[in-house]
Structure 1
Amino acid sequence: MKKNIRKIILAGLAVQSITPAMAISCFWNNKKSDELNVLFVSDMQNQNVTSNKEFKRNTSFGNDLIKLIVKGKEREFVNGFGTHAGSNIDNKRNVNTVILNIENKNFDYFSTYFGVDASKQDHGNGIKFRFYGSKDNKEWTELLDDKKVYKGTSEAGFAKLNIKNMNFLKIEIDTNGNDGWDHASFGNAYFYKEKYELNLDEPVSNIKSITKGDETEIKNKLFSSIDDVSSYKKVIFKKIIVDRIGENRLNDLMHFNDIKETVEWLLGDDEALELYANGGDLDGSNSSSQWIKSLKILSKIYSKFKGDFIVNDKDPLSGIPLKTVYKKMAISISLVYVNDVMDWWRQPQTISDPIVRYSLFKKLHNENDKQDQIEYLSELKNNDLSKLSKRQSEDINNRIKVIEDQLSKNIFHRKLNVKVFDNLTIEHMRWIFNTWMNDEEINWLNYYGRRLHGFNGKLSIGGYDYMPYTTPAAHHDYFKKFELNNPDSEKAKEEFARMDKKWNLTKFGIKNNGLYKAWVGIEVGQVCGGISKLGSAMTSALGLPSTVVGQPGHAAYLNYRGNGIWSLDNNVGGWSTANKGERMPLNLTSSRWDITVPKKHGNVNFILLAEDALINYDDYYESENLRYLANTYFKNDELKYLSILNNSLKKYKANYKTLYDMLMVYKDKNDYEKVEFGKKVLSNLKTYPFPYAYMVKYIISIIGDKTLQFELTNLLNKQLKEDANIEGTKNDYIIKHQANSFFSGEVDDTLGKFSFDGPNANKIIFNEKFTGSNQFRISFDGGAEFKITSDRIYTLTSKDLEKINETNNIILGINGTNETFTIDIKKYENVENELIVNEYDGSFVGKNIDKYEWSFDKQTWQDLANYKFNLSVGETKTVFLRKKASAHYLSSEIIEKQLTKANPGDNLVYIPNDKYSGETSSEETRWGRNQYGKYAFDSDPRTFFHTHWGGDDKKHIIWTLNERTKIAEIEYESSGGNGTLLEGDLYYSDDKINWHKISSFTLDRNSSKSRIKTNYTNKIKYLKLVATKTHGSTMNKWLSAKGLELFTYK
């Protein structure tokens, strides 16, 4: 197609004429188009800019500041735009066409510097530029065809183009054959009317980051008294803000009246200065160009609401000056809106306007629910209770009673939780204003967050309060079913009307415009992501910080409850697995550690440390100021650098950033110094397992000495164990879970526990870390049906117990995920010979006897442990045994045993082992041998005792009788190996100190059981057997026994 192009005489490529400096009026406000005298391209609305390549406002195509060569030197531009040569449409011409629509603006001139961004240097084969104007976007007049080929090292072009009577400007950016390195940059690109030409080349201010005098004084005071430095905080805050942007860039921005006013306000208002300086790094890039964007957003808010920031009245509920609240709101928004904020469906049409969001929250902050209560009371009274269940009727009557009582007493509630909201720091408030929610829906979300509990002052946390768990595509299917993507459809109109009646949509200005809305998710449900996003949005709309966080295969949401308390709701994976890819408060994160740690650990666990720092706001930021000064002035002087960082820790010992800066020095020191620094980390960060564990594990990884590695590892584990058992803190259950998650590199993911016995018999105890807003699912029939409960402790009914068997098990889940946790129900297996009969006593013995119960009739059962059947010598009884149900094991099958009582010998009576206690001179418990001394006295020949395998010179056994008793005989049962008793002496004592010999004895080596006669008829309290000769691979080195029994005289 032939282009309609005609040439006119250019206003020229001449150097811009010098006119008096002129501040720019509010070029981004909502003035009528014919009132605009100046319009920068970077401030044009999206619909008025088209480009074949990505169009970047106020940055180069590479997302940095725009840089061009002007008068032989590299110059940065704080205003302009960047794009790329070439076309995604017209590949033949390799031309990117940018069209700027200025219809009805009546501008006379367009001015810009242009060229290849200086960051591309001499790379590539350069690009060319052409400019055209048009009245109708069809016929184009050539304004400039620049034949020069531009590279990053080329002198930038400058165009001042006459565009009178034109409504469109077109710029063609030609690749000159190859599009490599073709980053086209335009500096100070703007339209203006006659007499409004700007002189942007001459400074209108000379703001300095810091004066030489202040700098010298601060440096000197850093080594005299750290408190002296705190008196310079205003100077420090100014330096922080100016350095973020850069002196030259900030002075360039001062050409614009709106920014000039905002900067002068910031530098003149101590509170605003501190809030902006301490507001934290930006999300994503922390570059100068992003800080310029933040300042422009703040300027936009300040220009419209500057009166808010001088309101001295205090909020009657929170007691905080309103000007302070409004400043925090404005600054928080300016920090988060450098990136697009939109709804959770991520629909670009919902990108939030910072002015709108500020206005919405300001209005909500100052309103109460009086009118809501009046309207809700009328709605409740209009219900036909005869059509409702008894429970529903009672609930409505109770709500009516509450509302009537509140209205009669003038009890009204604020729409925001101002007691929390007004006291938030900037770091907290950022998690309100960057929440994924549509501006259109904020009032609606706030309303339903208060309505759930009948406007009684209690607030919903969203999530399951409103949204059921369904399918990921529920919203898509719903829109398709009712043609809601086409709002003009009759079907869509009818359905929207029905939903409007149900959810009060149009009352809050919510439109039927073909976009997904929060009400859609509530109506049809979602999976974990939608449920958590609703929870975060509704909570934030009520003035409480909240954010969505990830867990493996799941989304949860983190909520601030005030008073330093954070909760994790819709929690399936536990605290230790929770992660957030975006910036955390104070930018504390685990991502900096290149070490081996459990893969499930997430940086959400740094929130407790961040919260402590923000609770100790003044101390923390004084500490941060010292750290900032150390890094600014003394990074290359190690002694002074560490001295200031240590002073930083004196102000706030848990400053993680300071400890990290110190670690970057200590990592190059010797191993002993590394260990000492590791001890400091453990001491300073105690009760914050993730921060100290990550840092100390890194230190351990760079220690070469294995002994020192072990020392620090041991100290780390001790601290983790201490924190794993912490009690009495407001976050102890979180700290316990975090600390426990580091042991063995595993995270405890057990959803719940169950036992048939013990103090919590027949109860399911859900893991505390999963409590919150969750609903739990329980199945006793193999997953066919689930019971739903919100209780952390669920007591099984008799019907529940009847259903439990080895096949069905107990299956637990959490609403919001299909994943389940199975409590494996098993049936105890009887080991036929696990229990044997002690025929001398007529009783059962065995190490698991406490797990058994017995019966004579298979109906009535009693615990077997310590039960005496009192048989007569020669008597036999049939006894039924089974393992009793315990833990998650069902009782075993029943076995039958014959219980008898044998004759211990003529004129002898057996002494049961509960009539005495025994001890041995040593025992062998290493390497899993379990040859304990107690096994000499347990009447069970299947166990045996052995002295220490290293040898035992004493080789003795002592009995302590409960009562003074005559001891007639001792029965010794040999283990048949090393330590077999051959000869020995017997002693008695009254005090276990002074021993008196009774007799000596000799035993047959080949006899498995032998009787030792004492030949002593007096009662004794203590009896000792001393082995004088034992058999073994080394003679007389050990003593062993399968059993030792005592007998008295009849």
Structure 2
Amino acid sequence: MSDVTDEQRANGRFACAAELIGRRRLWLAAGLTIALGSFPVAALADQQAPLSTPVAAAEQPQQVTLPKGLERVEEIDAKIKKMGSVTEVARKLQTGSTANAGAALTQEEEMLFLRRSLIYDAGYTKVGTDNRASWIAPKHEDDGYNALVKFVQKGADNAKFLEWLLNDYEALQLYVTGGIPGGRSWWQDGASHVRSIEQFMALAKAHPDDITRGKTSEADRVVYKKMMVSAALGMNDRTRLWTGTTKPADPVVRYEIIKKFREHSDQYRFRKDIFDQLPVENMRWIFENRIANEEMPWLANYSLGRYPNAKDEGSRLNAYSYIEYGHHGDDYGGYKDPEFYNEDNLYKSAVSQEPQTLGQVIQGGWNAKYHFTYEDDNFPNQNPSDPYYLELSHDHTSDMVRLWMPFEEGGVCGAVSKTARTSTASSACPQRWADSRATRRFLSTVWWTIPLRRRRATRLRATALATTPALVGCAWAAPR
């Protein structure tokens, strides 16, 4: 159980939220050079402004008019130069608020910087290698403009959506200050602003009322818009379970899952109080959660079944409640033990591989232990035709791994930390994960400063760092 009091938890949560909001209001003015390279836009002051509504789908003509706001970088720079000298503009950027008339950027001036940032950054490309990826800067300042022009020329829907994005102050601010597109699959390429905008458009088309004034409550509308931007930016290359080769998750489906978690927050113990306050920079971690879409409601129901009492929330969110450190079963390379795929083992009888119950026969197979089907009206899952049916492979060479397999066989640093991230993100607590390399870096830095008797405990704590949620408001328990 957690030894953090409710008061400490609340104070930590709101202090963290205040810090995040304050960080978003900072402008990076140092080294600002107008018309020379991309402006490093950090974040803008929160301001209220009436929003336009995304235009409904239309026929795709052969010729389209370029959307309002889509201009070449040099054209935007010419407008920025008219705002004053570099010193004057930098001072306005640092102010970050229109509270004092004339002392800060107007909303239209802010939008110039936001548009410039988006248009220029659209020229970046992500190139993957064996175990890392790099964002390659545009060779020409118009590369981003040209990429967006090609996007617009694909059809009228694209042009109308981009025009809405470039001229909707709130949406543009959320998108530009939300970070670069792409999830945690750093060795994969394919992430880009154009693809992210396509995903944002798909989300807006699927749920237009969610971001339209008057169609839902104002509080929900703002959160839904942040959710769409977070999904579009975070799930941009490959978001799926952290092991195996399940298909990448659909951002629209994930948005719908998290929306249901939020709507039924008491049922799923989803921390709506934390989630709604998150900026896109952190909310996207919830969407980047490295798990298959259909496993998210399964994990929620499975963990709640094991820990039905709210007082045990620390244990429910603790990776060590599900996965033992180390590999206990036969090593078939990853999680390819034939016993995990054999139909008889899945549904009739299986033999436990967990150290505490090693060798015990499980009547009803893995299904009896992990409940592949469950009762939940929000997520139909009983039949193969149901949208949240948990498909299982009967071919151990298929590499179609499910999360319950690491639960049974165990794992080391990366498996534990990713399991922690998976469980806490499903409860609205954002975090990043640390693999064995991060643990080694930590230990190599402090190892020789630690007395011998404390080194073993420190090794455990280093591994446990990965299980600690990013916000104090998420209770967690120390490793057993």
Residues 759-908 of structure 1: matches in 2 within 5 Å? Answer: 766=457, 770=461
Residues 645-684 of structure 1: matches in 2 within 5 Å? Answer: none
Cα separation, partners in 2 of 1:447 and 1:203, compared to 1, 3 Å: same
Opposite residue 230 of structure 1, the aligned amino acid is: L
CA distance in 1, matches of 2:292, 2:193: 25
Shift of 1:768: 11
**What residue number does 1:501 align with?**
368
CA distance in 2, matches of 1:442, 1:354: 13
Cα separation, partners in 2 of 1:353 and 1:773, compared to 1, 3 Å: same
Per-residue CA distance 1:879-900 (angstroms, 9 max, x = gap): xxxxxxxxxxxxxxxxxxxxxx
Shift of 1:306: 1.9
CA distance in 1, matches of 2:331, 2:253: 27
Shift of 1:417: 1.0
Select the residue among 211, 215, 219 that pairs with 2:80.
215
CA distance in 2, matches of 1:536, 1:328: 20
Residues 85-104 of structure 1: matches in 2 within 5 Å? Answer: none
Opposite residue 748 of structure 1, the aligned amino acid is: T
Shift of 1:437: 0.8
CA distance in 2, matches of 1:481, 1:346: 15
> Which one has the bigger strand percentage?
1
Q: Secondary structure at the match of 2:277?
A: coil
**What residue number does 2:223 align with?**
325
Residue 239 (str. 1) matches residue 116 (str. 2) = yes
**What residue number does 1:748 align with?**
449
CA distance in 1, matches of 2:87, 2:270: 43
Select the residue among 190, 196, 216 that pairs with 1:294.
196
Residue 471 (str. 1) matches residue 327 (str. 2) = yes
Shift of 1:528: 3.0
Residues 252-263 of structure 1: matches in 2 within 5 Å? Answer: 252-255=150-153, 256-263=155-162
Overall identity of the aligned pairs, in %: 20
Structure number with greater CO (CA < 8 Å, separation at least 6) is 2
Q: Does the 8 A contact of 2:152 with 2:158 survive in 1?
A: yes
Q: Secondary structure at the match of 2:428?
A: coil
Q: Secondary structure at the match of 1:517?
A: coil
Q: Secondary structure at the match of 1:577?
A: helix
Q: Does the 8 A contact of 1:341 with 1:435 survive in 2?
A: yes
Per-residue CA distance 1:277-309 (angstroms, 9 max, x = gap): 101123459999821111111111111112111
**What residue number does 2:284 align with?**
430
Q: Does the 8 A contact of 1:312 with 1:323 survive in 2?
A: no
Residues 891-1040 of structure 1: matches in 2 within 5 Å? Answer: none
Q: Does the 8 A contact of 1:418 with 1:543 survive in 2?
A: yes
CA distance in 1, matches of 2:291, 2:235: 13
Shift of 1:367: 0.8
CA distance in 2, matches of 1:336, 1:261: 23
Shift of 1:538: 0.9
**What residue number does 1:278 align with?**
177
Residue 359 (str. 1) matches residue 256 (str. 2) = yes
Cα separation, partners in 2 of 1:443 and 1:285, compared to 1, 3 Å: closer
**What residue number does 1:585 align with?**
none
Cα separation, partners in 2 of 1:252 and 1:336, compared to 1, 3 Å: same
Q: Does the 8 A contact of 2:191 with 2:236 survive in 1?
A: no
**TM-score under structure 2 length normalisation:** 0.60
**What residue number does 1:341 align with?**
239
Residues 470-489 of structure 1: matches in 2 within 5 Å? Answer: 470-471=326-327, 474=330, 476=332, 480=337, 482=339, 484-485=340-341, 489=343
**What residue number does 1:577 align with?**
442
Per-residue CA distance 1:620-662 (angstroms, 9 max, x = gap): xxxxxxxxxxxxxxxxxxxxxxxxxxxxxxxxxxxxxxxxxxx
Select the residue among 420, 423, 430 that pairs with 1:545.
430
Select the residue among 509, 519, 523 that pairs with 2:408.
523
Opposite residue 418 of structure 2, the aligned amino acid is: K
Q: Does the 8 A contact of 2:210 with 2:216 survive in 1?
A: no
**What residue number does 1:595 align with?**
none
Residues 159-174 of structure 1: matches in 2 within 5 Å? Answer: none
Select the residue among 381, 393, 398 that pairs with 1:513.
393
CA distance in 1, matches of 2:62, 2:187: 31
Q: Secondary structure at the match of 2:435?
A: strand
Cα separation, partners in 2 of 1:506 and 1:289, compared to 1, 3 Å: closer
> Which one has the bigger helix percentage?
2
Shift of 1:475: 7.5
Shift of 1:464: 0.5
CA distance in 2, matches of 1:791, 1:356: 31
Select the residue among 249, 253, 273 that pairs with 1:419.
273
CA distance in 1, matches of 2:78, 2:419: 53
Is 337-346 or 501-510 further displaced after alignment?
501-510
Q: Does the 8 A contact of 2:318 with 2:420 survive in 1?
A: yes
Q: Does the 8 A contact of 1:429 with 1:545 survive in 2?
A: yes
Select the residue among 318, 328, 331 that pairs with 1:462.
318
Q: Secondary structure at the match of 1:531?
A: helix
CA distance in 1, matches of 2:327, 2:275: 34
Q: Secondary structure at the match of 1:429?
A: helix
**What residue number does 1:230 align with?**
105
Opposite residue 152 of structure 2, the aligned amino acid is: M
What stretches of structure 2 of length at least 5 have no aligned partner?
1-58, 96-102, 123-143, 351-363, 375-380, 382-388, 395-399, 466-475
Runs (4+) of structure 1 exceeding 6 A deviation are 285-289, 312-315
Per-residue CA distance 1:746-804 (angstroms, 9 max, x = gap): 753546449xxxxxxxxxx9559928959xxxxxxxxxxxxxxx999xxxxxxxxxxxx
Per-residue CA distance 1:472-524 (angstroms, 9 max, x = gap): 76574986453x435xx445442485322322211253233243211122233
Per-residue CA distance 1:9-38 (angstroms, 9 max, x = gap): xxxxxxxxxxxxxxxxxxxxxxxxxxxxxx
CA distance in 1, matches of 2:194, 2:300: 32
What stretches of structure 1 of length at least 5 have no aligned partner?
1-195, 371-413, 556-571, 579-599, 602-740, 755-764, 775-789, 793-813, 816-1050
Shift of 1:345: 1.2
Shift of 1:265: 2.5
Shift of 1:272: 1.1
Cα separation, partners in 2 of 1:537 and 1:293, compared to 1, 3 Å: same
CA distance in 2, matches of 1:265, 1:323: 16
Cα separation, partners in 2 of 1:239 and 1:753, compared to 1, 3 Å: closer
Opposite residue 494 of structure 1, the aligned amino acid is: K
C-alpha RMSD over aligned residues: 3.9
**What residue number does 2:41 align with?**
none
